[in-house]
Structure 1
Amino acid sequence: MTVEQALQLLKNKGYKYTGKREKMIRIFDRENRYLSAKDLLEYMQDEYPGLSYDTIYRNLTLFEKMDILEATELGGERIYRFRCSTDEHHHHLICLSCGKARHIRSCPLDAMLGQPEQFTITGHKFEIYGYCGECQPAK
């Protein structure tokens, strides 16, 4: 998803354009990694000094509901990233240091479970946490 597609989606669903919404979406596009509400507030505080966590969280919730962002929980905190540009089934490796995510093309659930009897799987999520090559702690 591009910034323009995200803004158009909001417009098409009747949500008004605001500079704060555009700025948040542009930050996710630029950073290309998982971000917390705290990260967003830090990036936006200079331009919007009165910005509150309530405003950040309201917009994050809206963006997630609109499938602009996807979320996960890490260390008890909800973090967000731009929705993947592919609809192909995949999972993620997520760096605990920088928040960048990488696709895993195979599905571990297939190897573990296969197709269970008398049960239709409609969705699942599988994430692996660790450190990317740039962030690996020195040994």
Structure 2
Amino acid sequence: MNIDEAIDLLKAKGYKTTGKRKDILAYFGEADGYRTAKDLISYLEKTYDGISFDTIYRNLHLYDEVGILEATELNGEKHFRMNCTHHHHHHFICNTCGKTKEIEVCPMDDVQQSLANYAIEDHKFEIYGLCPLCKGA
């Protein structure tokens, strides 16, 4: 999802697109991988002196709820990234830098056979480790 698509989605859901909200979108649009609320507040404090964690968390959860951001948990902390909506895929996530690599393989074909009598509504498949740069460091 790009920033314009995200703004259109916010408007379609009846939410205002304030300067802060656009700056949050710009941050995640440029980020390569998952980022935390702490990362975001450090970025926004340069422009918005005294911005609160409440404002950050409220917007992060709104964006997650409407499908602009996707969330995962790394080392006991929620991390967010811009939602990849163009095709179905999964991610390798670096535990050190948070960068991601798309994985085209999906284990759901095998799982659906094992759970033939179940109604699967959603799934998430992620692999965690070290990217080549962090592994070499």
TM-score normalised over the length of structure 2: 0.91
Q: C-alpha displacement at 1:115, in angstroms?
A: 3.9
Tell me the SS of whatever aligns to 1:34. Answer: coil
Q: C-alpha displacement at 1:137, in angstroms?
A: 3.9
Matches within 5 A, 1:119-134: 119-134=118-133
Matches within 5 A, 1:59-78: 59-78=59-78
Equivalent residue number for residue 13 of structure 1: 13
Alignment of 1:108 with 2:107, yes or no, is: yes
8 A Cα contact 1:93 1:101, kept in partner: yes
Number of aligned residue pairs: 137
Q: C-alpha displacement at 1:116, in angstroms?
A: 1.8
Tell me the SS of whatever aligns to 2:79. Answer: strand
Could you tell me how far apart the structure 2 residues matched to 1:116 and 1:3 are? Answer: 38
8 A Cα contact 1:32 1:82, kept in partner: no
Q: C-alpha displacement at 1:122, in angstroms?
A: 1.9
Equivalent residue number for residue 4 of structure 1: 4
Matches within 5 A, 1:81-100: 81-88=81-88, 90-100=89-99
Could you tell me how far apart the structure 2 residues matched to 1:114 and 1:79 are? Answer: 32
- After superposition, give the CA deviation of every residue in 1:73-127 in whole Å (9 maximum; x if it has no partner): 1111011000013232x22100112211111111234446634232122211111
Could you tell me how far apart the structure 2 residues matched to 1:117 and 1:68 are? Answer: 31
Extract unaligned runs of 5+ from structure 2: none
Aligned AA (1:123): D
Extract unaligned runs of 5+ from structure 1: none
8 A Cα contact 1:34 1:80, kept in partner: yes
Could you tell me how far apart the structure 2 residues matched to 1:68 and 1:114 are? Answer: 31
Could you tell me how far apart the structure 2 residues matched to 1:20 and 1:109 are? Answer: 38
Q: How much is the aligned-residue C-alpha RMSD, in angstroms?
A: 1.6
Q: C-alpha displacement at 1:131, in angstroms?
A: 1.2
